[in-house]
Amino acid sequence: MLQRLQGRVHRTVTGVCLLGVQSGRRRIWADVALVRMEAIGEPRLHSYLESQEWRGEGGGYSPDERLRAGWPITFEGDAEVVLGLSTRRVREELHSFAAARDGGDRC
């Protein structure tokens, strides 16, 4: 999979649902970010695969770890979406959700 991502742009999508415990109100959304991964090179890729660091990572890699390792990766959009969850967006939505709540609804 990582070989096929090299030299291409791919999308990362994070879906979120806030659910009001008492009211059942929901706020659902998905955030998208684009990731461009330039050529990594076979020796570097082989070393990474042997390291087993890819285990448990969505898409086979952790973008922040691979950037620190010098991989040629760039993002378009919220970098937190690439990592898994936009905490900025969640905070905004929670604030909006709480402001509209009725009857002491909690998430």
CA-CA distance, 97 to 17, in Å (whole number)?
11
Amino acid at 55: R
CA-CA distance, 28 to 15, in Å (whole number)?
8
As a CATH number, domain 2-99 is 3.90.950.10
**Which residues, other chains included, contact 57 with Cβ-Cβ below 8 Å and sequence gap of 6+?**
none
**Which residues, other chains included, contact 103 with Cβ-Cβ below 8 Å and sequence gap of 6+?**
22, 23
User: Model confidence at 36, in pLDDT bands (50, 70, 90)?
Assistant: very high
**Domain range annotation of the chain:** 2-99
pLDDT in tens, 44-101: 999 999 999 999 887 888 888 999 999 999 999 988 888 888 899 999 988 887 777 6
Q: Which two tokens stand for residue 26?
A: 């929901």
Note the pTM of the prediction, 2 decimals: 0.73
Secondary structure tally for the chain: helices H, strands E: 5, 3
